[in-house]
Structure formats: structure tokens, C-alpha cells
Amino acid sequence: METLVVAVFIIGYLAITLEHTLKVDKLIPALAMMAFLWSIISLYHMPVFEVDTNLKKLVPTHLEEILLHHLGKTAEIVVFLLGAMTIVEIIDYFNGFLTIKNFIKTKSKRKLLWIFAILAFVLSAIIDNLTATIVLITILQKVVPNRDTRIWFAGLIIIAANAGGAWSPIGDVTTTMLWIGKKVTTIKLISYLLIPSIVCLLVPISVASFLPAFKGNITYNPEEIQEKVNKNGSIILYLGLVSIILVPVFKTITHLPPYVGMMFSLALVSTFAEILSSTKINITSFDDQSDDAANHSPVHKSLSKIELPSILFFLGILLSVGALESIGVLFSFADKLNFIFPNTDIVVVLLGVASAVIDNVPLVAASMGMFSQEINNPLWHFIAFSAGTGGSMLIIGSAAGVVAMGMEKIDFFWYLKKISWLALIGFLSGAATFIIIRDFI
């Protein structure tokens, strides 16, 4: 029956990878795959196990217990993401990101490249690489009117955003998974990955700044990009960013799961948002009399804009990988992989390359079930870096790349020819830096 389970997973995985070809949203095969996998395990009464990371072995357990265990781990990630997404949408409700846009004054393409790259690197570490990419490309469309020039900037923003998301526990979904899964801690993650991530940013941006595409000036009037900023926009922007940054601090102080801190931050930002918008605080009421207030509530408006398909995709894929982990398939695969490649660095680099083709969420979820190293082992940090930055090598290899592709209609082969080599040298430079410095941390 293990063969049937693996076959269902491969078919589901292919359907997710071929999302655009099949014209079927990836959440559908993810949810179907999850239901089929657990149904097979239940109907055929397959033995299930829990991985004991201390003893590095499989411990028999009951189906209901292991399913509840995986659901609990998945729910922690889903609730955390819901909170972060809502805070970002509240900032957008107040046009808070216009505060960033109106700081940009220069016409130099080279200076603009560095400004956007640094902004992407910093913002992605706070509001995640996907959201940072959306925000910055929206700003880019106002700043750079020529599309042929703009797609070059968009390509480098993808690299910078993925590099910035890798070193922060809240900067990338896969890094967040490792953090919530108690594979890494905030301080160690930053210690291990900040310098490699900076290298991963600096190398490609430095090389790109000498390319013809970034020579000369942008032909626009800086005054044209000035837009009216909501009087409360900057307040909500800074409050939202600070509240998200404080989530790891909250976890360190209270030792509670990260989603608790994110919910506290959401409550704080929501309170100020309701007060500043002068609306009735009515988050949980759904009676007819509250309809008018709800339509003008920044919290209600922001919750309605949450991308639920992504949330359901995470639910489906994480529980699917949990099914493979529970029957011991991933544990056995890890043993075979370690036998073929005794050096785990090679395995992790290959994982980074694979993340350019395959969605990095299931890749990291699988690696969490394959390896049983203790918390803060350098392996987990290297996985976080490789999965986070390796996806930049193809435009379809990361969420940031896919959203940029959609917003700017970037051609797959144009990116492959013009940007992929820059992403590759950044990835390899960062990986080499990590290998060199890890023994000194």
C-alpha cells in the first residue's frame, strides 16, 4: 500500500506543478491529494508512526492521534499566516505603503535598482517576500513608466525579496514553517543566515548594476509619482511593521507558539485601525444592523481580501506530507538519500535547485519529516536558505516570482535568459558563504 500512497502523492504533486497547463487552481489537487492519502491509510489500516527526534526512530501511534498531531502543526502555520496577511491588508487599506513610494526622488536607474533591492530585502524580512514583491512592483509601476525597463527591475526585486525572506522567521512561508516547527530559533536563524542572505543580494545586484539595462536615467517627473497619502497611513504602516517584528520577541518572552503573538499583534493593529477610521468596533457581530458598520470597517474589509486559496493550499499540502511522514516513507527516503549522498550539503544544495522547479512548501515540509536533527542544527538553517533563495533561479520557482510574472506579464524564457544566471550566482555565493561561516557560529 505504500506504493499506492506514493503514487497518489506524485500524481497530486504533478497536478500542482502543472497548475497553469491544466488551468486548475493548485489548491484543488492539494486538498484532493490530502483526502485520498489519509483515506487510503485509514481504509487499509496501515500502521502509522510518529518521528521521535530525540531517539531518531519511528514510534507506533494511533491514526486519530497522528492526524490530530499534524492538523495541530498545520493550524499553527495557517493561523499565523492569516494574522500576518490581515495586518498587511489593514496597512494597505490606509494606503500606508504610499509613504514608501513618496520617498523615491532619484532618476538614476542604478540608484533606483539599489533602492528597490534594499527595500525588497528589508520589507520581505518583515511582511514576507510575496507581499513585499506585490508592494514594490506596484510602486515600480508608478516610478518606471517603460515596461521593457521595468521588468529588469522586477526580476531583481524577486531575487532581493527571496534573499530577504530567508533570514527572517516571518520572511518566507518555508522559514516560518521551520520556526513554528521548532527546527530553528530566531536568534540562531539570523546569526546563521543574515550574512549569506546579504551576499545572495549583493552579488547579483552589484553585477546587474553594470549591465546596460541599468545605465542612464528614468524619463519621468518625480512630482508625477506623488500621490495623496492617507493622514493615518504612515501611523498604521509603522505600527503594523513594528507589531509583526515584535512577534518573535513575544515568543521569546512568553515561550508561547508564534501564532499567539501574531494574534496579539493583529488585535493591537485592528484596535488602532478602528479608532483611526472612526468606525464602530464590531469585528465579531454578523447581525443585519451591523452591515453598514462592517462595510466601512478596515478590519472587515481587510479580512475579506485575505487570499484564502493559498491558506487552503497550505492546509492540503502540509497534511499530505504529514501522511507520508506518518507511514515512515520520508524517514526511509532520508536514509537512502544519506547513503547515496553522505555529504548533506550536496543534498541541501540540490534541494535549493529543485525549489526553482517544484514548490518549496512541500519540499521543506518533506525535509522536516526526512531529517531528525535537533533544533538549530546547521542543516535546518541551510535548508531555510536553499529553499528560500533557490526558487529565484526560475520565475515560477517562488511565490514572489509567480506574482511578479502575473503583474508584469514577464515571459518565462526572458527571465531564464536575463535574470536566472544572476539568481544562480547569488544562490551559490550565499551557499558558499554559509558553509564557510557556519563553523564559527
pLDDT digits (tens, 9 = 90+) for 372-422: 788 899 999 999 999 999 989 988 778 788 778 877 888 888 999 999 999
Whether residue 424 has pLDDT greater than 90: yes
The pTM score is 0.76
Q: Which pLDDT score is estimated for 111?
A: 92
Is the Cβ–Cβ distance between 409 and 141 less than 8 Å?
no
Tell me the residue length of the chain: 441
State the Cα–Cα distance between residues 188 and 441, nearest whole angstrom: 9
Given phi > 0 = left and psi -120 to 50 = alpha, else beta, which region is 412?
alpha
Instruction: Give residue 425's pLDDT.
Output: 96
The sign one gets for the Cα dihedral 118, 123, 126, 130 is negative
389 and 429 Cβ atoms separated by less than 8 Å: no
**Which residue from 320, 325, 314, 318 is spatially nearest to 32, judged by alpha carbons?**
320
Residues 233, 94: Cα–Cα separation, whole Å: 5
What letters, b where the CB count within 10 A reaches 16 and e where it falls short, cover 222-254? Answer: eeebeeebbebbbbbbebbbebbebbbebbeee
Least confidently predicted of 30-34, 326-330, 427-431: 326-330
Residue with cell 492617507: 230
Q: Quick one: pLDDT at residue 36?
A: 96
Distance, CA of 256 to CA of 70 (rounded, Å): 18
For residue 439 the three cell numbers come to 563553523
pLDDT value for 382: 94
**Which amino acid, residue 15?**
A
CA angle 135, 141, 143 (to 5 degrees): 100
The model's pLDDT over 252-262, given as tens digits with 9 standing for 90+, comes to 899 888 899 99
User: What average pLDDT does range 71-76 have in this prediction?
Assistant: 88
Contacts of 187 (CB under 8 A, 6+ apart): none
pLDDT of residue 287: 46
**Percentage of the chain exceeding pLDDT 70:** 90
Provide the grid cell at 346: 550536496
C-alpha cell at 87: 495586518
SS3 content of the chain, % helix, strand, coil (to 5): 75, 5, 25
Contact, 147 vs 408, CB < 8 A? yes
Nine cell digits for residue 435:
558553509
3-class secondary-structure state, position 58:
strand
Is 217 in a helix, a strand, or coil?
strand
